[in-house]
Amino acid sequence: MFLRVLLLSLWCWGVLCAWVLSAENNSSAESYSLRLVGGASRCEGEGEFQRPGLNWTTVGPFDMTLGFGARLCSVLDCGTVLSVGRNTGLEREVVMGYPHCEQTALIQCFRTGYRSGSSLQLQCSDSVRLVSGSGLCSGSVQIWDGSWTEVCDGDLDQRGAEVLCRELGCGAPSLLQGALSPLGQTFHCEGHESALMDCPRSNSSTCSSGATVHLTCSEPIRLVGGATRCAGTVEVKLRGEWRRVIRKYGSWDQEDTVAVCRDLDCGSAVYGREKDDFPHSPVWLVSSDCVKESSVRGCVSGSHSSSSVVEVVCSELLNRPIISVSVSDGASELQPQGVRVQLGSKFRVKCSVEPQYPGGSFRLLSPAAPPAQNRTLFAVNHSAHFLFSDADHTHKGNYTCVYLLQVFNHSFSSQSHTLQLSVGESDSDLIIRVVVILLLKLLYILPMSYCYCKVRTRAALERGPSSE
């Protein structure tokens, strides 16, 4: 009896605790409202925040990033965030938003008791969005038709993808999955439209499970002034304008450099620094606390005038070298899988690279020697030549050029495609050999045939005419 009472008490206590926690969570998650006012649509304008029973209060723009703006757009049931800015006016009471707050409930990210003459200006797309992607510029495509609906496989072609990426403030489409059919698409874009919903539309079939369009647009970030796209001064495009970026607080660090190289798909971070050697001009301020989980563009939290620039070098710095084979004597033939050189001939493997940096060296990886003996030559006029004589079957196999260079006291390398080389006789030699063999056989067969016929004839004469 005592055990039954104890178990019943514990069960009641658990139910009560669960009810209290649920009530607290619902209260914190539901006890606020958010809206945008003064804009062209419900998804554009000045931010306002309201707690139950209180008046609407203007949202201040403190440290608002594009990534946090995306969170607000989602709460408003709008599309992808397009811009986050500020509007200056009369000083008034505001609530401040803190984008990097740790609480999951958005209400915990707003704090009261502030006065400011600035307010948050937020613009979200109201008719299209990308959801469940790795960043602001990737995800499954959805359109607004009274509710958010997915775009089906085959409903969007390349020109439609270009319009959509441009509408969302992203770069060109870099990956379009499930939308390769040029016929039967719902959206018939010509490519010059400013929004996807401006394109002529036709009816589409209902999407089957998983048959939706997933789009990845390139991040609007670039490195300028360097020898390749993976080295130079960092610039980000926001609201149609390219600007340099600098860190909002503190100095540029390795995590910031890692984020830049990641967004550019340029490999790992090698080098990054901020320096003052540029005329004062507008720059984008990056809130570095968020770059671990967002793109550099998603961490932009305002603008400023500065003479600072950020230089970044990523590991994929060098152009890919080119490998080719030529024969000084004998012959070579192009094969579907590579090159075939004639047995016993002298051949040359050339490693070259498009002019980019002076100096450097080339290492040839070949099957003709163990790895420790693979040869390295200094680059002369951006190329090196590796000579081989008396080609035999030990020379057949895969050949690869590796370009080596020192930049900013760091070692870089880039590897060519693999070239497969085979060693054998040429087709003409094979034909000659076959002809010679056939002639020799004929020279052997003809005398034998002559002798055989002569013996048969003599035997027939000796027997004489046959009698009836």
Asked if the model's pLDDT at residue 444 lies above 50, the reply is: yes
Looking at the predicted structure, is the pLDDT value of residue 193 above 70? yes
Would you say residue 2 has pLDDT above 50?
no
For residue 462, being part of any structural domain is answered with: no
Q: CB-based contacts of 220: which residues, under 8 Å, 6+ apart?
A: 137, 169, 170, 171, 236, 237, 238, 297
Say if 262 falls within a structural domain: yes
* CA gap 152, 178 in Å, rounded: 8
Are 115 and 181 in a shared domain? no
Q: Give residues with Cβ within 8 angstroms of 71, minimum separation 6.
A: 99, 106
- 249: its two tokens: 């607080």
How far apart are alpha carbons 381 and 389 in whole angstroms?
24
Question: Do residues 298 and 329 share a domain?
Answer: no
The reported pLDDT for the residue numbered 13 is 45
Residue 117 and residue 135 share a domain: no
Contacts of 79 (CB under 8 A, 6+ apart): 43, 73, 124, 125, 126, 127, 128, 129, 142, 144
Contact predicate 137/170, CB 8 Å: yes
Assess whether 423 and 349 both reside in one domain: yes
pLDDT of residue 372 exceeding 60, the answer is no
Residues 182 and 204 in one domain: yes
**60 lies in which domain range?**
30-124
Residues 233, 310, single domain; the answer is yes
Q: What local confidence, expressed as pLDDT, does residue 118 receive? A: 85
Average pLDDT over residues 367-376: 67
Give CA–CA dist 297/269, Å, rounded.
17
Domain boundary among 296, 314, 332: 314
Return the DSSP state at 201. B
| Percent of the chain with pLDDT strictly greater than 90 | 17
Answer yes or no: is 19 within a domain: no
Average pLDDT over residues 67-79: 89
Average pLDDT of the chain? Answer: 79
Let me know if residue 114 belongs to a domain. yes
Is there a single domain that holds both residue 305 and residue 392?
no
Is 450 inside any structural domain?
no
pLDDT band at residue 181, thresholds of 50, 70 and 90? very low
Domain boundary among 314, 348, 374: 314
pLDDT value at residue 208: 56
CATH number at residue 88: 3.10.250.10
- Residue 444 inside a domain? The answer is no
Residue 362's pLDDT band (cuts 50, 70, 90): very high
**Is residue 416 within 8 Å of residue 383, measured between CB atoms?**
no
Q: What is the pLDDT of residue 431?
A: 67
Q: What is the mean pLDDT of residues 447-468?
A: 64
Report DSSP letters for 55-116, one per residue. --EEEE-TT--HHHHHHHHHHTT--SEEEEEEEEEEEEEEEEE-TT---SSGGGGEEEEEEE
Q: What is the pLDDT of residue 358?
A: 84
Identify the CA nearest to 167 among candidates 131, 209, 124, 109: 124
pLDDT of 139 over the 70 cut: yes
Domain boundary among 92, 124, 156: 124
Number of folded domains in the chain?
Answer: 4
Residues 370 and 404 in one domain: yes
pLDDT classification of 198: cutoffs 50, 70, 90: very high
CA atoms within 13 A on the CB side of 271: 16
CB atoms near residue 303 (< 10 Å): 16
The backbone torsions φ and ψ at residue 412, rounded to the nearest 5 degrees and listed phi first, read: -130, 155
- Residue owning tokens 């505001």: 94
109, 103 contact by CB (below 8 A): yes
Q: What is the CATH number of the domain that holds 334?
A: 2.60.40.10
Overall average pLDDT of the 104-121 stretch:
81
Query: Cα Rg for the chain, rounded, in angstroms?
Result: 37
**Mean pLDDT, range 223-237, rounded to an integer:** 89
Higher pLDDT, 74 or 179: 74
Q: Are residues 335 and 422 in the same domain?
A: yes
Provide the 3-class DSSP secondary structure of residue 178: coil
For residues 419-434, give the mean pLDDT. 70
- 12 exposure class (CB count in 10 Å sphere: 0-12, 13-18, 19+): exposed
Candidate from 95-99, 247-251, 276-280 with smallest mean pLDDT: 95-99
The larger pLDDT score, comparing residue 431 to residue 354, is at 354
In a domain, 308, yes or no: yes
Dihedral of CA atoms 101, 106, 109, 114 in degrees, nearest 10, equals 170
Domain co-membership, 228 together with 299: yes
- Structural domain includes residue 23: no
Same domain, 201 and 240: no
Residues linked to residue 12 through DSSP beta bridges, in sequence order:
none
User: Which one has a higher pLDDT value, 126 or 113?
Assistant: 126
Please spell the DSSP secondary structure of 188-200, one letter per residue: ---S--SSGGGS-
Alpha carbon distance 191, 162 (integer Å):
7
d(CA 341, CA 360): 29
Query: Alpha-carbon distance 216 to 138, whole Å?
Result: 4
Query: 426: helix, coil or strand?
Result: coil
**How far apart are alpha carbons 153 and 214 in whole angstroms?**
9
Q: Are residues 160 and 95 in the same domain?
A: no
Report strand pairing: 57-60 vs 383-388.
unpaired
Helix or strand (DSSP H, E) at 121? strand 110-124
Containing H/E element for 138? strand 138-144
Counting Cα atoms < 13 Å in the Cβ hemisphere of 236 gives 26
The torsion defined by the Cα of 353, 358, 360 and 366, in degrees rounded to 10, comes to 20
